[in-house]
């Protein structure tokens, strides 16, 4: 599942005779993936400082020696688990080798953030097409800064393409945030939670993020097998799959109908490390502005409560 999305960047470069452009996209994938992997490993290796305070571990360290092994298999350990957690939510496989519900707060942040961005390798084609939408958005922003009509792969990017690109970005975020808000207000949701407070909110958020991103993994303490959750998560899957794909197919048709424009002195090159950096920046900024508030209510506040010595109940 990780090999196919990776190979699609090479396929893209070969089909368009722009191999360098394909490697730029692969590098953007790899930089995002490596950053999230390091984040997940550091979070799990740091362990839970509350265990030392209650005397569960006799150590001079303020955290668990050996890291957080709750919900993990000894044969995989912290490194193998962090790698699998990052990979399964980057490539949207849905398979797990540990209980994501038992991850440290910022360890659980990583799979959530990757599925929210939905362009860190991604599923078979889904992640790459989402990265393309951010690439079009990036050249639009860059073109506006240099005062020139933006171009991508020799095609002019105009108002129609930008409007179509924004539709899947809005549909993806509206599905996750809208259904999560509805579930939080639904009276029967409390009975499905294994935990309350910030962690309980993260369980609900994870369910709709996983459904919208067509991942399939879950915070296993959460019971989604109810008529309400079966229906709403199913709707989230439909929105995440089709309301993001169809507008981008329309973008492809629009660009295909346009004449190819020769590169000029004012053309912003897209097969360079500079563009790769701008692309990653746009992905993180758009994703951060969209999802950081809801993440602050879940894993971030849970992490802060843990550091303050407050237990989840």
Q: Where are the domains of the chain?
A: 3-307
Name residues whose C-beta falls within 8 Å of residue 285's C-beta, 6 or more positions apart in sequence.
none
Q: According to the model, what pLDDT value does residue 148 have?
A: 73
Name the phi and psi angles at 124, rounded to 5: -70, 85
The residues that bridge with 152 in the sheet, in sequence order, are 155
pLDDT tens digits for range 225-236:
999 999 999 999
The C-alpha atoms of residue 62 and residue 60 are separated, in whole angstroms, by: 7
Residue 213: exposure state from Cβ atoms within 10 A (0-12, 13-18, ≥19): buried
DSSP secondary structure code for residue 131 in this structure: H
The C-alpha atoms of residue 313 and residue 195 are separated, in whole angstroms, by: 6
Q: Is the pTM above the cut of 0.85?
A: yes
Q: According to the model, what pLDDT value does residue 230 have?
A: 95
3-state DSSP: the chain helix, strand, coil percent, rounded to 5?
65, 0, 30
- Extract the residue ranges of the chain whose pLDDT is less than 70: 52-65, 312-313
Q: According to the model, what pLDDT value does residue 93 have?
A: 86
Helix (H, G, I), strand (E, B) or coil at 251: helix
pLDDT tens digits for range 284-312:
999 889 999 999 999 999 999 988 887 76
Q: Burial code of 36-51, b = ≥16 C-beta within 10 A, e = fewer?
A: bbebbbbbbbbbbebb
Query: What value does the CA radius of gyration of the chain take, rounded to a whole number of Å?
Result: 21
The C-alpha atoms of residue 234 and residue 236 are separated, in whole angstroms, by: 5
Name residues whose C-beta falls within 8 Å of residue 17's C-beta, 6 or more positions apart in sequence.
none
């Amino acid at each position: 599942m990780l090999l196919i999305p990776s190979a699609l960047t090479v396929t893209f470069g070969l089909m368009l005779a722009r191999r360098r452009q394909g490697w730029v996209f692969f590098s953007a994938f790899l930089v995002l993936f490596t950053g999230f992997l390091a984040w997940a490993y550091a979070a799990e290796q740091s362990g839970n400082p509350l265990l030392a305070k209650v005397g569960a571990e006799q150590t001079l360290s303020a955290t668990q020696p050996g890291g957080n092994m709750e919900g993990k298999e000894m044969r995989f350990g912290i490194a193998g688990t962090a790698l699998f957690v990052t990979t399964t939510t980057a490539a949207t496989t849905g398979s797990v080798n540990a209980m994501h519900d038992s991850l440290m707060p910022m360890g659980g942040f990583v799979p959530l953030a990757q599925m929210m961005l939905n362009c860190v390798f991604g599923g078979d084609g889904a992640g790459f097409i989402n990265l393309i939408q951010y690439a079009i958005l990036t050249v639009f922003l860059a073109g506006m800064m240099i005062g020139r009509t933006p171009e991508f792969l020799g095609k002019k990017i105009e108002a129609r393409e930008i409007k179509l690109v924004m539709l899947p970005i809005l549909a993806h975020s509206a599905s996750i945030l809208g259904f999560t808000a509805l579930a939080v207000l639904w009276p029967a949701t409390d009975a499905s939670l294994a935990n309350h407070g910030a962690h309980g909110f993260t369980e609900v958020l994870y369910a709709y993020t996983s459904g919208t991103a067509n991942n399939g993994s879950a915070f296993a303490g959460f019971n989604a097998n109810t008529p309400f959750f079966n229906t709403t998560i199913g709707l989230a899957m439909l929105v995440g799959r089709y309301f993001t794909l169809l507008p981008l197919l329309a973008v492809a048709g629009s660009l295909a109908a346009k004449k190819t424009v020769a590169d000029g002195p004012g053309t912003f090159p897209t097969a360079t490390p500079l563009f790769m950096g701008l692309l990653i920046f746009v992905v993180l900024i758009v994703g951060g502005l969209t999802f950081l508030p809801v993440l602050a209510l879940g894993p971030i506040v849970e992490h802060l409560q843990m550091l303050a010595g407050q237990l989840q109940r």
